[in-house]
Amino acid sequence: MAYKSTGVADLQNFFADLVRCETRLYNALNDRLRERHGIVTSQFEFLRFLRRHPGARVADLAAEFAIGVGATSKSADRLEKRGWIVRQTNPADRRSSLLALTDDGSQLLDAAETTFAAGLSELVEGTLDQSATAAAAKALHQLRSALERNQVGTPTG
């Protein structure tokens, strides 16, 4: 479908395509991660975030992924039960915990990142050329940045 530069219907089609692409990519990568590593995409994303942000709080994860703190805490509980993360007392605020990858979590993430990168490359680069991928990435980054800056779609709980 070709898009015109203006029009409500075109934005609605853009939204539909964006959501359907995200869902299909997420599901395909989810299947590969589950089959090869016993994790799902949301767990993979949490572990990746904790590698980049050691000592993050549940609230930091919730803000990054625009999900509720309660759901994030339950997800962290599941990762902790699997031995992939640990909670440590936050010295600055004893009401919260700091999260960190365990050695097992780090090893799992190393292996899963290879699977994720290969799958994503196959799914995206098999369809879009480098120029189209770069343009889409730039546009989505701009949109995400504006939404986050303006706190659009931030959960209330």
Q: Supply the pLDDT for residue 103.
A: 97
Tell whether the model's pLDDT for residue 5 goes beyond 80: no
Single pTM value for the model: 0.85
Nearest CA among 134, 156, 154 for reference residue 144: 154
At residue 67's C-alpha, the angle toward residues 148 and 73, to 5°, is 135
pLDDT tier at 90 (50, 70, 90 boundaries)? confident
Q: Supply the pLDDT for residue 2.
A: 55
